[in-house]
Amino acid sequence: MSKEKDVRKVKVEPEDQEAEEVGQDVLAEDFEALQAEMSQLQKDAEEAHNRYLRTLADFDNFRKRQRDETARLCDFAKEEVISKLLPILDNFERSVDAAEAQHSYDALVEGVSLTLKGLRDLLDKEGVVPMEAVGQEFNPELHEALMRTHTDEYPEHTILEEFERGYTINGKVIRPARVRVAVPE
């Protein structure tokens, strides 16, 4: 406290007053410059925040458009596949009608055989390829083992029987073959 009292008692010379006034002016200018800079930074931050909100809204709109476009494309793909299957359905109906009208098993077999050929042709055009399984070595990426048969007639893991044929499209398995596999006794 004694030092404070001493400082208060010091008489300020006129030169010191001028220096103090200049110092206060400089401080006032610095303060104003800092306030202006702070105001500009606040303005820049607000603009950046607004840009962020607009970008976020744009991205949300993009996501909604993509979801709608994907749904539309799925619907289109369904329509295309169904429109290709309808003639085959018509052929099945004609086969059954002809067999009933003629009371002929042969007419039914012929109609179903022709319809089956049409279905296979359609699948072939779409790139669907049946897999050969019988006699092949079991591969869990291509086959699903439903049964195992103990035998020494065939090498281990040889496919003995195919219960359901497997199919690929563009090299991708869309349905594995369901098979019976040989295992050693």
Across the chain, which has 185 residues, the per-10-residue mean pLDDT values are: 48 60 80 93 96 96 96 90 86 86 85 90 90 94 95 93 93 94 92
Residues 151 and 119 sit within 8 Å (Cβ to Cβ) = no
Residue 17 pLDDT: 66
Q: With the CA atoms of 157, 161, 163 and 165 taken in that order, what torsion angle do they form, in degrees rounded to the nearest 10?
A: 80
Residue 146 pLDDT: 96
Residue 50 pLDDT: 96
Please list, in sequence order, all residues whose beta carbon lies within 8 angstroms of the beta carbon of residue 41, skipping any fewer than 6 positions away.
none
Residue 111 pLDDT: 86
Residue 89 pLDDT: 87
Residues 143 and 109 sit within 8 Å (Cβ to Cβ) = no
CA distance 49 to 43: 10
Residue type, 143: H
Residue type, 126: E
* Domains in the chain, CATH or no CATH each: 40-126 (3.90.20), 130-185 (2.30.22.10)
Alpha helix positions (H), 14-166 = 14-102, 105-125
Sign of CA dihedral 46, 48, 51, 52: negative
Q: What is the pTM of this model?
A: 0.58
Sign of CA dihedral 174, 179, 182, 185: positive
Residues 87 and 118 sit within 8 Å (Cβ to Cβ) = yes
